[in-house]
Amino acid sequence: MPVKALFKPFHLGTLELPTRVVMAPMTRSFSPGGVPNSKVIEYYRRRAAAGVGLIITEGTTVGHKASNGYPNVPHFYGEAALAGWKKVVDAVHAEGGKIVPQLWHVGSVRRIGTEPDASVPGYGPSEKVKEGQVVVHGMTKQDIQDVIAAFAQAARDARSIGMDGVEIHGAHGYLIDQFFWEGSNQRTDEYGGNLANRSRFAIELIQAVRAAVGEGFPIIFRFSQWKQQDYTARLVQTPEALGEFLKPLADAGVDIFHCSTRRFWEPEFDGSELNLAGWTRKLTGKPTITVGSVGLDGEFLQFMVNTDKVAQPASLEKLLERLNNDEFDLVAVGRALLVDPDWAQKVRDGREEDILPFSREALMTLV
């Protein structure tokens, strides 16, 4: 199957990508104090130089006191962090690439003791008390508005420093997804109950981001069926329910849906070979990004624990067949790009034998 489909330009409004290859967002934790440094700048520059059309940064925390859940992840607020991201933007643009930040709030995943303020518990749709201590603060309506305002400000800052759009992280059991998921959203007000109500927070947040950046500035929304807490979870069970879930998000201002799956080749629903990105494109008419073990023979869960397993480069034939059939528009590559900054160039040149395998050791450094 010819690889040229991966290297055709993509156009959507003001967003013009030189290739269909997207760097998936991957938490790296190499930004002490929340500020991207020279190593981070070079990390992203190398991928743009080697043919990645769109870089979606690692998750960057918005300006809310409970947004962070991990040490050394970058902020997307404050003068120093934004100055660091401006250098990243300039380096990527100099290589002909495009870049958007993934805007992130971890919600109830946060634990007491986490930076920057160790006294702040997680924030989530519903309160959780353990041994008499509030470990998850149930968000008030004012809290909801504060978080929405933080996302809107981050998007405004992204545009001001030259980012090419923003991605809103609505997947994987973090805050926005916690509102979607019935298991974590036990609210009885207008933000809880049925899925339409549980989607209200995300819809209002997307609307606020759109108002902050204006028309024409691309908004990507990442969502998933699976959760960190439950890899077999399914938010919706049928294509009809998926369409009902996605349409209000699209109407609120989403331009591109980033459809997170563990294995891109798996059908999302019985009776069709379409994956989640394929169904999303069909149901919304919006461009979609597919993702999930692209270019490797082992999916990421194998590497979430200490292991000596190695994921070897894998054939792209099934992926290219789906891309050529217009099942989806863009292809996000995660671990294969993390370990090998020249992955896209090697694929384009037919040098698959030179692509590096992935192991947990790759997580220890930025290359």
| Spatial distance between the Cα atoms of 137 and 145, rounded to a whole number of angstroms | 15
Amino acid at 105: H
| Spatial distance between the Cα atoms of 70 and 35, rounded to a whole number of angstroms | 14
Could you please report the per-residue DSSP string of 121-153?
A: -EEESS-EEETTEEEEEEPPHHHHHHHHHHHHH
Which residue out of 77, 174, 191, 231 is catalytically annotated? Answer: 174
Q: Are the CB atoms for 106 and 122 separated by under 8 Å?
A: yes
What pLDDT does 301 receive? 53
Domain 3-364: which topology? TIM Barrel (3.20.20)
Whether the predicted model's global pTM rises above the 0.85 cut: yes
Positive or negative, the CA dihedral 144, 150, 151, 156 is positive
174 classed as catalytic? yes
Scored b (16 or more CB within 10 A) or e, 220-251 reads bbbbbbbbeeeeebebbeebeebbebbebbbe
Instruction: State the DSSP H helix or E strand holding residue 38, giving kind and residue range, or none if neither.
Output: helix 38-49
What pLDDT does 226 receive? 79
| Spatial distance between the Cα atoms of 292 and 260, rounded to a whole number of angstroms | 7
- Domain spans of the chain, in order of start: 3-364
| pLDDT tens, residue order, the chain (367 aa) | 689 999 999 999 989 999 999 999 999 999 999 999 999 999 999 999 999 999 999 999 999 999 999 999 999 999 999 999 999 999 999 999 999 999 999 999 999 999 999 999 999 999 999 999 999 999 999 999 999 999 999 999 999 999 999 999 999 999 999 999 999 999 999 999 999 999 999 999 999 999 999 999 999 999 999 777 677 778 999 999 999 999 999 999 999 999 999 999 999 999 999 999 999 999 999 999 999 999 998 655 554 556 678 889 999 999 999 999 999 999 999 999 999 999 999 999 999 999 999 988 899 999 9
| Spatial distance between the Cα atoms of 269 and 272, rounded to a whole number of angstroms | 6
What pLDDT does 30 receive? 98
C-alpha 217, offset from chain centre: 17
